[in-house]
Amino acid sequence: MFAKLKEKIKNNHVLYDYGQMWPFVKPYWGRALLAILLTLPVGAMDAVIAWALKPYMDVMMIEKNTNTLWIPLVIIVFSALQGVLTFAANFTNTWVGSRIASDVKISLFEKLMKFDASYFDTTTSGNVMMRFNNDVDAACSGLLSNIKQFFTRFFSSVSLIAVLFYNSWQLAVIAVIVLFFALFPLTRVRKRIKDINKQSVFTSAEVVTHYNESFCGNRVISSYNLYDYQNSRFDDTLRRVFKLGMKMVQRTGMLSPLMHFVVSLGIALVIWVGSYLIVHHQITAGNFVSFVAALILLYNPIKGIGNNFNNVQVALLAMERVFELLQMKLKICDRPNAKELREIKRGISYQHVNFEYIAGKPVLQDINLNIKKGQTIAFVGNSGGGKTTLVNLLPRFYDVTSGQILIDGTDIRDYKLNFLRDKIAVVFQDNFLFSGSIRDNILLGNENADEKA
């Protein structure tokens, strides 16, 4: 039974995506719950305002009785209270959403730091920026705002529909049927935008990559007069971004106008049937005015819900991409029961080492090498001959395709990564400076180093 329920939740992408966010929401669940509870009166107050119009119209406008002059004051007070509660809900939502976004980014950044070198070989800087930062912002900013909007609309719709049935069940049935037809197109939105949204993310990442390449490679661009070449590539990327944006509009742009048209038909139909019911004394003028006010309050958000629903789907798709990263398994990590490498006593040994960056294209083949402790070894050869690759296997930037690298007779994969790399000093071919002073960069290797040294 529980297995079937779990499978149903997993198949429901909305529930499944929000379920995956729970570990990040849990530390702030109190404030998140408060934000949701604040939406209850915010939504219900619309119905109070619409309901108040009935006695006002029947007593004041029809019977010319001034006993209902308090009703406008009630409307003003309720509107002011609604505004205060809306601000409180927005503030709480923003606070919780920002904290959740920070926690998710920290988790993703920790994961990014532990990815192996092959991940960075095949991933652009723009892709990293979009997926590790922008996707998190899109997912988390929409996380609670979507929930808030849903509950506000839900409580508002339920209370407004109650006012509709209170005033006229005949007109209410018509209104609910029209509402169903207006919302039906939303069921197709996700399938229509999923592929385009994914392509848009990667294409937008290319734009960021162009900027990063121009910044880091400015000397190469200037030295070889690559201005036209870079401009052409950037222009081509922007054209693809434009085409994807237009495809998104083509697939979803008619949603809001279509819903607006259906809702307008509903209002027209209600006015036509309502006029008949008033003439035949089945409802009062107060009933009709209250009904129309509730109907407009119910339908108005529907007119723009197409665009809002697109944003909801974009946020959910971003959430899926975020958890795709969080659930990625690290290719290079500590084995169970990995040992600590305290010191190197005998030496390093490469035994029948083979390595491939791309399957089927060997870079190193059957390498055998023994290096004794204290011995100095220099690898000399042509560029691209595998010298750097051979060295990069030792600190496990990559793992061997087959064979073994041993330190004191133990496979390096049986040592804990932190202890293995702590015993290795690397001078790279390309210099890289982190943000901060030269002193800060020097102390990265050892924060407790002697100042005199």
**Tens-digit pLDDT profile for residues 302-319:** 655 555 666 677 777 888
With beta carbons less than 8 A apart as the criterion, state whether 277 and 283 touch: yes
Write down the pLDDT at residue 69.
Answer: 65
- Least confident piece of the model among 46-55, 120-129, 260-269: 46-55
Contacts of the segment 239-247: beta carbons below 8 A, 24+ positions apart: 240/203, 240/206, 241/200, 241/203, 241/204, 241/207, 244/196, 244/199, 244/200, 244/203, 245/200, 247/196
Q: Which CATH number applies to 347-442? A: 3.40.50.300
Looking at per-residue confidence, does 352 or 178 come out higher? 352
Query: How many Å is the maximal CA-CA distance in the chain?
Result: 107
Q: Inform me whether the pLDDT recorded for 192 exceeds 50.
A: yes
Beta bridge partners of 407: 348, 410
Using alpha carbons, list the distances in angstroms from residue 92 to 85, 103, 131, 315, 378: 11, 17, 26, 19, 61
Give start-end residues of each CATH 3.40.50.300 domain in the chain.
347-442
Say how many CA atoms lie within 13 Å of 370 toward its Cβ.
4
Q: Inform me whether the pLDDT recorded for 76 exceeds 60.
A: yes
- How big is the CA angle at 390 (ends 377 and 385), to the nearest 5 degrees? 95
- Least confident piece of the model among 34-38, 68-72, 96-100, 281-285: 68-72
Give start-end residues of each CATH 1.20.1560.10 domain in the chain.
2-326
- Least confident piece of the model among 9-13, 124-128, 309-313: 9-13
Q: Inform me whether the pLDDT recorded for 204 exceeds 50.
A: yes
Q: Inform me whether the pLDDT recorded for 106 exceeds 90.
A: yes
Write down the pLDDT at residue 309.
Answer: 66
- Least confident piece of the model among 6-15, 363-372, 419-428: 6-15
Write down the pLDDT at residue 330.
Answer: 87
Where residue 5 falls among pLDDT bands split at 50, 70, 90? Answer: very low
Residue 176: Cβ-neighbour burial (10 angstroms; 0-12, 13-18, 19+): middle
Is the CATH code 1.20.120.1200 the one for domain 2-326?
A: no
